Structure 1
Amino acid sequence: MRPRRFDLIVFDWDGTLYDSTGLIVRCIQAACADLGLPVPAPSEAAYVIGLGLHDALAHVAPSLPPERVPELGQRYRHHYFKRQHELSLFEGTLALLEALKARNHWLAVATGKSRQGLNEALGHVELRGMFDGTRTADETASKPHPRMLNELIAEFGVAPERTLMIGDTTHDLQLASNAGTPSVAVSYGAHEPETFHQHGPLHIAHSMAELHDWLVRHA
């Protein structure tokens, strides 16, 4: 077996491993409608996926007074938790993670979800124990601030250049750039792939199967 290029592989969650982009967009729109706010277009709602919930909702509802953003967050959670049982991993995700574990990579998640939201998702898809470390936006700084990635790098004692960040948004790629780590983008999530090139990912994968193939060959 060839030597590993990366010791630690860090995944975004929504839109990268978990097929949740469409539901998140609809829940953001429904929450705005509940409060009588302008309903953002799907592309506007998708843009904020990956940010911490407070930052995301403040961005899509700029006319909402800051003290009411938590109220909008409550409406978002209401809609999301009512439907989250419909969500699942992208097909091929488990096979990818198992292949990387077999190569003795450390695996981690860096997400804009809350700790409660990530734990519920991990429990729902029976992934507890698959990841060696996780960071959520409510326990550290939100993307694209590098803190959550820096904390994972420090936790495992790896060099930034031997850490790989994988995500579906420019927020993920900017997070990697800010932390000094290489990145890989996936085009099947929240952001359009033409926005990725300015951040210099090593590769843009257009399916989970392509991501699997690239990682097995290059990680």
Structure 2
Amino acid sequence: MDKPFDLIVFDWDGTLMDSTAHIVHTIQAACADLGLPVPERERASHVIGLGLIDAMRYVCPGLPPSRYEEMVHAYKHHYVLGTETIELFDGVREGLAELRASGVFLAVATGKGRPGLDDALARTGLTSLFDATRTVNECASKPHPEMLLSLADELGVENRRTLMVGDTSHDLNMANNAGTRGVGVSYGAHPIDELLACNPLAIFDSFRSFHAWLQPQLG
């Protein structure tokens, strides 16, 4: 039987890397630095996966655009302080290597900026496993479909043979908007009911369970 997908696209934070708690803390610390109301965990985690500007509009709706640069600076300051402690989820490194060996394309679509993603790929040693990557520096922020459409176009893959894997409704709605398939992981930023509302093919409680589901389908 032919494999159902030619391209597997992964979100980064909360899907491959266990960075949700750190990002929530970073958002809260940045708001405190600027004298803004500090959002609760649920509100801060909801914006994970979005570009920074879109995230600010949601977390700090009263923040004037003239202060966006100040917020970005505060966010980046606090984020860098904890990057060395963030690790990949269990099973990610070996799972990606096995998927790559199956002959499918692997890619990343993330709300991180290009410098942040390149740094994370270099620190984890995963750069060579991905055929292409997209960030908010090159494409519109999720859930706009541009990241997925651009990746599929670059790699010559039909949208219907592309699978998006993510931990947020932003990821799954991006897949819906792009006409691709999507699966959710429940160990990241968004609660399972928000993922289910996006009608994914499946939802998994660990990266290993996702890999165990997908690998046999790839032959």
Q: Same fold (TM over 0.5)?
A: yes
The 5 A counterparts of 1:1-150 are 2-150=1-149
Deviations 1:43-67 (A, max 9, x none): 0000000000111122101111111
Contact kept in structure 2, 1:54 and 1:70, CA below 8 Å: no
Return the alpha-carbon distance in structure 2 between the equivalents of residues 172 and 82 of structure 1: 27
Corresponding residue number in structure 1 for 2:207:
208
Q: Secondary structure at the match of 1:109?
A: strand
Equivalent residue letter for 1:62: P
Return the alpha-carbon distance in structure 2 between the equivalents of residues 102 and 216 of structure 1: 10
Superposition deviation, residue 3 in structure 1: 2.5
User: What TM-score do you get using the length of structure 2 for normalisation?
Assistant: 0.97
Superposition deviation, residue 217 in structure 1: 2.9
Q: Secondary structure at the match of 2:82?
A: helix
Equivalent residue letter for 2:192: P
Q: Which runs of 5+ in 1 are unaligned?
A: none
1:178 aligns with 2:171: no
Q: Secondary structure at the match of 1:137?
A: coil
Superposition deviation, residue 81 in structure 1: 0.7
Return the alpha-carbon distance in structure 2 between the equivalents of residues 62 and 131 of structure 1: 36
Return the alpha-carbon distance in structure 2 between the equivalents of residues 125 and 134 of structure 1: 15
Q: Which runs of 5+ in 2 are unaligned?
A: none
Task: Work out the number of aligned pairs and report it.
Answer: 218
Return the alpha-carbon distance in structure 1 between the equivalents of residues 3 and 217 of structure 2: 8
Alignment RMSD, CA only? 0.9
Q: Secondary structure at the match of 1:185?
A: strand
The 4+ residue runs of structure 1 with deviation greater than 6 A are none
Return the alpha-carbon distance in structure 2 between the equivalents of residues 26 and 34 of structure 1: 12
Equivalent residue letter for 1:52: G
Q: Secondary structure at the match of 1:213?
A: helix
Contact kept in structure 2, 1:107 and 1:130, CA below 8 Å: yes
Return the alpha-carbon distance in structure 2 between the equivalents of residues 194 and 33 of structure 1: 30
Contact kept in structure 2, 1:110 and 1:135, CA below 8 Å: yes
User: What TM-score do you get using the length of structure 1 for normalisation?
Assistant: 0.97
Return the alpha-carbon distance in structure 1 between the equivalents of residues 187 and 217 of structure 2: 20
